[in-house]
Chains A and B, each alone.
Chain A
Amino acid sequence: MTQVSPHARLAEWFRRWRTPLRKFLVGKGTIRVADLDDVAQEVFLRLLRYEAAEIVEHPQAYLFKMASNVAAEWAMRSRNRQEHEPHWLDGLTTEDRVADDLDDLAVQREIARALSTLSARERQVLKLHFDEGLTQPQIAARLALSPRVVRRDFEKSYSKLRGELRVPSTGVLTHGPE
């Protein structure tokens, strides 16, 4: 096998296994967290307009694609109303990821605080996943737990964090271009 640079292989991996979620989470468009519920309302209505059978093929794709579209539409509309902000334009002209609220030190501390409300094992499971990149089966093996238990830990953690995380309403959920 020819020597391919890790970066190229990674790029290839992405192309082959690209999922709607990845596009959703890595992109230049954003949904303000404060708008999330409203965006969801609009997405819900659009989901109803489709035939169920059509969506069932790729439900996540539809969900994220629609959320992206709605957010993009709204962003376009709000920008037309707002005064031109030069810094916004700066972010747009580069390929760079624009640092958002999640980069703020205060927010990082808040995430640490929210994590402290989880159980030790829940934290451990999340840490093994997000910091060391282990999959759930690998975590189960490492901790000598059943996969079901690990899955439950994830589910409980996400539920708890959903309520616990006090991220600013100016925070954003990034979505990908579609």
Chain B
Amino acid sequence: MDPNERRERVTEEASYWWNRIGLRAPADISAADRAQFTEWLRESPVNVAEMLHMARVHQTLGRFKLWQDVSVEPAEAGNVVALHVDSGTNVHSQPRAGVGKQGGDGATAGETEIASRVTDRSTARWHMKRWCLAAGAAAVVLGSMLMLFHIDAQTVATGRAERREVMLDDGSVVKLEPETKLRVSFAKDQRRVTLQRGRALFHVAKDRSRPFLVQAGNTSVRAVGTAFGVEKKRRNVVVTVAEGKVAVLASTRENSDASSPAGAAAGSRQDSPLAGGEVDGARNGGSVDGGQDHQNAVVSQKDAARGTGDGVTQETEEVLLGAGQQLTVEPTGSAGSPRTVDTRRELAWSEGRLVFDATPMAEVIEEFNRYNRVQLRVADASLAARPVSGVFQASDPETLVAFVRAGAPVSVTREDAGRVIVIESAAAH
């Protein structure tokens, strides 16, 4: 038997043992089975390896979030999510009555299928929980238990030069930029994400029963089904909406990251009125005129604490942002009014592009350095102050180097085995 055949045979054996013995409590397994399994494990390290690989397959299936998109129909025209059926090498029995029935009456079959399917994912999970509690037996397949573990919080983080696109358990997709950290805590009544640092683009899956809340510093963004970016900058928080609507809430104090799933920070106080006031002009090219009348732009709502569970009633004012709008929130809680922006520009970072508008070189370099292993450095002050405008590929610092070169005589040296690029004015020698 050649090694491939052998491995395949072992895979089948491991699958057999996994399904027979891997998931059950020891008490449920006969002594004979246990003895056989032990003997099988001790036959070869390949057997052990395949058993661990089975655990990995099981874990993977337990963490799969797109079951709703998985078609269980045999070959059917118009299967939407490109999940085609087997090539015909598998012989399977005729589908039984009432389930996945194919035939002339496609509409009826579809209805039957929908009726038997649980369409609400969160309801399905809660049904599973109830069922598991009722059963209370170790024979309850642990695969379903794996999904229950998602009541725990989850941390997602990226390092320097690392971007990541992650799917949350509700099907929402989050694109994380480099040096970004999120804490995800979903509960039955809300989906809560804390942006601890960095910036991220959120594509929120529709779930009317649970609002999606992103907390960044003193700013809270609430969405139902939409796409928006949140940037936690050194001082400000910037919210830009690509699609749909969000409600932004600013408070005067930074909300600490809640450790309990239901609790918001105790003691969040009433925010300051959203007067125009000072807006940080350091935001690239953006500013909001102080002193303007914002009444028409600001939607005020008096809200009780929105089901956050902390029991504290607070007066809050929300700003509604629609597609194409951006809001910058100060650390003081003042936020100015939403401004209309070109979201393709403002959210270009989520597409791997950096856009600058008369931004000082030093800042530009700081941005690039977050995105790349190769680090840029500017050697003289005049160069550091030079304004840069343009759109650059974040992952390619050489495009910036080329840009700088085109603008003025500079010398470019590479240090540290090419890991650092130093640019300085050619005159400064």
Contact = CB atoms under 8 A, between A and B. Distances in A.
A9 interface: yes
A58 B31 CA distance: 10
Interface string A62-74: 0110010000000
Given A97-B155, A98-B154, A132-B124, A161 B49 contact: no
Contact of B31 (A24, A56, A98, A171): A56
Nearest to B162: A87
Interface in A4-31: 6-7, 9-10, 13, 17, 19, 21-22, 24-26, 31
B52 A36 contact: yes
A98 B167 contact: no
Contact of A135 (B50, B139, B146, B173): B139
Interface residues of B, number: 109
B148 interface: yes
A76 interface: no
Contacts of B54: 158, 162
A103 to B, nearest CB: 5
Contacts of A57: 26, 34
B53 to A, nearest CB: 5
Interface stretch (B81-89, B206-214, B392-400): B81-89
A132 B144 CA distance: 8
A63 B48 contact: yes
B35 interface: yes
Contacts of A75: none
15 contacts: A44-B47, A59-B21, A67-B52, A96-B154, A97-B149, A113-B83, A120-B92, A123-B72, A130-B61, A130-B144, A136-B141, A156-B15, A158-B57, A167-B60, A171-B56
Majority DSSP secondary structure for residues of A touching B: helix
Given A13-B132, A19-B25, A52-B38, A111 B52 contact: no
Interface of A: 6-7, 9-10, 13, 17, 19, 21-22, 24-26, 31, 33, 36-37, 39-41, 43-45, 47-48, 52, 55-61, 63-64, 67, 85, 87, 90-91, 94-99, 102-106, 108-109, 111-113, 115-124, 126-127, 129-133, 135-136, 142-145, 151, 154-156, 158-159, 161-163, 165, 167, 171, 173-174
A70 to B, nearest CB: 10
Contacts of A96: 152-155, 183
B92 to A, nearest CB: 5
Contact of A17 (B25, B31, B144): B25
B323 to A, nearest CB: 23
B287 interface: no
Contacts of B48: 40-41, 43-44, 47, 63
A165 B155 contact: no
Interface stretch (B62-70, B230-238, B243-251): B62-70
Given A91-B155, A161-B60, 5 more contacts: A90-B155, A97-B149, A126-B61, A131-B124, A154-B15
Contact of B142 (A19, A44, A122, A123): A19
A30 to B, nearest CB: 11
B66 A40 contact: no
A121 B15 contact: no
A90 B181 contact: yes
Given A56-B35, A90-B157, A104 B165 contact: yes
A132 B49 CA distance: 29
Given A40-B52, A67-B52, A120 B71 contact: yes
Contacts of B149: 26, 97
Nearest to B140: A135
A120 B63 contact: no
B154 A47 contact: no
Nearest to A66: B48
B70 A123 contact: yes
Contacts of B86: 117-120
A129 B15 contact: no
Contact of B62 (A91, A113, A130, A163): A130
B227 to A, nearest CB: 14
A165 B61 CA distance: 11
Nearest to A71: B52
Contacts of B181: 87, 90
